[in-house]
Amino acid sequence: MSKDVRDFLFRGLMFEAEAESFRRAGIQIGAVATEAEEALLKEALAPFSVQRRNNAIEMARLYAVLFCFENEIRDFIRDALEEKEGPDWIAQLPTRIKQHAESRRETALKDSWLEGDKSDLLGFIDFGQLA
């Protein structure tokens, strides 16, 4: 390890140690992510009516709950399949469902605007097909 890398790492560790003492004393270190996100959200939604903004925020809350629920179910199913079928459980999926999921993943890989994990095939199976 070169001296420059060692010095850089040491300075980083020293900063983290000092920053933690400041945080414990109630002094903010760095930007507060929630405040920055709220400011960006206000700016992005500013052109729209108050009613439209309120509806959008309500839908965002509902989406967050559905997203979390659906992905917890996916994790549960993944764990159950790994326990029952082993690490190669994907090979045991019905062909129709596997092809559908692979097709959706290919589309997501081509369309860079689609967010989310593109490596997990289970994420591309429709929620109703998980039964």
Query: Nearest-CA neighbor of 130 among 71, 65, 83, 66?
Result: 71
67 phi/psi in degrees, rounded to 5: -60, -50
Spatial separation of the C-alpha atoms in residues 82 and 99, rounded to whole Å = 20
Domain ranges of the chain: 93-131
Spatial separation of the C-alpha atoms in residues 58 and 53, rounded to whole Å = 9
pLDDT of residue 65: 93
pLDDT of residue 64: 92
- Over its length of 131 residues, how does the chain's per-residue pLDDT go in tens digits? 678 777 787 777 777 777 777 778 877 777 666 777 888 888 888 999 999 988 998 999 999 999 899 889 989 999 999 999 998 888 888 999 999 999 988 888 887 676 677 778 888 888 888 77
Cα–Cα separations (whole angstroms), residue 41 to 37, 109, 116:
6, 27, 20
